């Protein structure tokens, strides 16, 4: 088995104090750093996704001055800003590949993004012959959920490390994890 860690959107705008800060975001960043310090050798690749939105438009209706927090959101993770950077508590040294998503459109899954060379995440996993993915990051009930479901759809085994995720809401996060588990992922 060839295994990857997928770190979803552990960015300043999604951790405490950010434009869409999630309670527990800094804890997740620190936890992923500790996890990688102890387990980096367990992974053949460490892939990190980032929201990377355009500054000069509404990103396909994703940004709104009066967001509904379901389909529309306040401005966040604008390319090249501090909000789009990885949380400083996340050690990025072990990251082998980066995927940027939401470039002019509303993307939730890391599988909608592209690498620096323009490949989609599914193509990268195929190229690296990845058969297992551990998923961690922010937010459990949005981008972690969408990324885990798309990973399952791509045919890899998925495990969500539940102590290394943080969500917007308790109930919605529980529902997201139940949905991912029902779809075939392991929760650990």
β-strand partners of 165: 137
**Choosing from 87, 101, 141, 150, which is the catalytic residue?**
101
Residue 181: Cβ-neighbour burial (10 angstroms; 0-12, 13-18, 19+): middle
Helices (H), strands (E): how many in the chain? 4, 6
**77: annotated active-site residue:** no
CA atoms of 117 and 114, how far apart (whole Å): 8
β-strand partners of 134: 5, 159
CB of 14 closer than 8 Å to CB of 156: no
CA atoms of 33 and 30, how far apart (whole Å): 5
**Choosing from 107, 134, 143, 150, which is the catalytic residue?**
143
Give me the active site residues, please. Answer: 9, 101, 143
């Amino acid at each position: 088995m060839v295994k990857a860690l997928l770190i979803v959107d552990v960015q300043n705008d999604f951790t405490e104090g950010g434009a869409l800060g999630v309670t527990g975001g800094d804890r997740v960043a620190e936890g992923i750093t500790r996890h990688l310090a102890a387990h980096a050798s367990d992974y053949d690749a460490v892939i990190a996704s980032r929201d990377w939105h355009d500054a000069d438009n509404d990103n396909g209706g994703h940004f709104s001055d009066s967001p509904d927090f379901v389909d529309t959101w306040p401005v966040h993770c604008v390319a090249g800003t501090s909000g789009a950077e990885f949380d400083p508590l996340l050690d990025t040294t072990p990251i082998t590949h980066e995927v940027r998503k939401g470039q002019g459109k509303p993307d939730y899954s890391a599988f909608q993004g592209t690498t620096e060379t323009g490949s989609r995440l599914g193509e990268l996993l195929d190229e690296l012959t990845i058969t297992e993915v551990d998923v961690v990051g922010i937010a459990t009930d949005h981008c972690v959920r969408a990324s885990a479901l798309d990973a399952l759809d791509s045919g890899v085994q998925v495990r969500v490390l539940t102590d290394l995720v943080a969500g917007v809401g308790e109930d919605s996060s529980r529902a997201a994890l139940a949905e991912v588990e029902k779809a075939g992922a392991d929760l650990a």
